[in-house]
Amino acid sequence: MILKKNDLLIPIKYNFKNIVIGKGSCIFIHLTKDYKPTAGCIALKKKDFLIMLKLINNNTKIIIN
C-alpha cells in the first residue's frame, strides 16, 4: 500500500502477542474509491470512513471475522 498526502487510515494491532512469523503485524482500515478486495486490509469509501470515525474511540475494539 502506498500512502498519499491526504490518505486516512487506522492501524489495527494484529498478530501482536504470541507472534506468528509470516502472518503480518497490522491490518489497516483505509480509503478506497471502490469496494474491490484488498490484500488483507479493510477499505472504505471516505464517507463511510468518516462515519466510522464518529462512532469509535481509543477504547473501541474492532473485531474482524
Confidence at residue 55, expressed as pLDDT on a 0 to 100 scale: 94
> What's the CA gap between 54 and 57, in Å, rounded?
8
* Helix intervals (H) in the chain: 46-55
Confidence at residue 44, expressed as pLDDT on a 0 to 100 scale: 92
Q: In angstroms, what is the C-alpha Rg of the chain?
A: 13
Confidence at residue 49, expressed as pLDDT on a 0 to 100 scale: 92
CB 15 within 8 A of CB 24: yes
pTM passes above 0.75: no
Confidence at residue 51, expressed as pLDDT on a 0 to 100 scale: 96
> What's the CA gap between 30 and 3, in Å, rounded?
10
Q: So where are the chain's domains?
A: 9-55
pLDDT tens-place values along the chain, 65 residues long:
566 656 788 888 788 788 888 887 788 888 888 888 887 888 999 999 999 999 999 899 888 77
